[in-house]
A and B are shown apart, each in its own frame.
Chain A
C-alpha cells in the first residue's frame, strides 16, 4: 500500500525567506512523486515530479524538490517565497501500478509581507 505524510498542517514564512514544505512517503517498489498546489476554490496545479535520476528536481514558479531515498522524503523548496505563494500544497505518490495518485492531507502555506 502507498501512503504520504505531510507532517505540518501550516507553514508560515515571511516574504523573501526560504520556504520548505515537508513530505514523506511509503510505497512498495520505486516511487513516482508529485507536488501540486491548490488555490481557493480551484483545482490542483502541477508543480513538479520525480521519476528517476537527479535527486533535485526543478519545477514551475521557482519551486524545486529534493528526493531522499534513505529518508523516504520529497520536500518542496523555494529559495525566496512570495506572498502569491500562499496556497495549499499537496504531495502525492504513485507506485508502479499505474493509476491512483495517493495524496497527503495538504500543507497550508502562508507568506506574510
Chain B
C-alpha cells in the first residue's frame, strides 16, 4: 500500500502565478482533505472533498480551489500567489468523512513563493 502520495514534493513559484498540487489517497479511501502548514505552526484546514464535492471549507480565500476526481484523487489550485502562501501543503485521506475516522497524511508539497 503506497499510502497517501503527493506531487510535486517541492515547488518554487513567483508572486501572481498559479499552482496546482496533486494528491492520490490511500487505497480504499474516498475522502480527501487539504491542509496548509506554515513554518512553526500546526496545520490549518483548507477544505474537504467527498463524492467529488467540496463538503467543508476553512477560512481560506476563493483563490484556493480544489477538485476531486472519480478515482478519489484530488487537486489543490491556488491562484494569484502571494508570498504568504509559502507553506507545506498536506493532503490527508480517510475511509469516510465521519468525525471519528482518522486521517492519513501524505509527505506534503513544500511551496515557496518568491
Interface residues of A (CB under 8 A from B): 32, 34, 36, 41-46, 49, 51, 90, 92, 94-106
1/0 contact trace for B43-74 toward A, CB 8 Å? 11100100000011010000000000000000
Additional A-B contacts beyond A41-B110, A49-B100 (6; CB < 8 A): A32-B99, A44-B92, A46-B103, A94-B100, A102-B45, A105-B41
List chain A residues, Cβ under 8 A from B92: 44, 101
List chain A residues, Cβ under 8 A from B110: 41
Decide: B42 and A103 in contact? CB cutoff 8 A: yes
Decide: A36 and B105 in contact? CB cutoff 8 A: yes
List chain A residues, Cβ under 8 A from B55: 99
Decide: A90 near B42, CB < 8 A? Known: A43-B90, A43-B107, A99-B97: yes
Q: Which of B4, B42, B58, B100 contacts A106 (CB 8 A)?
A: B42
CA distance A90 to B45 in the complex (A): 14
Q: Is B25 among interface residues, defined by CB-CB distance under 8 A?
A: no
Decide: B99 and A94 in contact? CB cutoff 8 A: yes
Q: Is B33 among interface residues, defined by CB-CB distance under 8 A?
A: yes
CA distance A49 to B45 in the complex (A): 19
A-B contact count (CB 8 A): 66
CB contact list, B84-104 vs A, under 8 A: 90, 92, 97-100, 102-104
Interface residues of B (CB under 8 A from A): 4, 33, 35, 41-45, 48, 55-56, 58, 90, 92, 97-100, 102-108, 110
Decide: A44 and B45 in contact? CB cutoff 8 A: no
Q: Which of A44, A45, A100, A103 contacts B48 (CB 8 A)?
A: A100
CA distance A36 to B44 in the complex (A): 14
Decide: A103 and B56 in contact? CB cutoff 8 A: no
Least CB distance from A9 to B in Å reads: 10
List chain B residues, Cβ under 8 A from A106: 41-42
List chain B residues, Cβ under 8 A from A51: 100
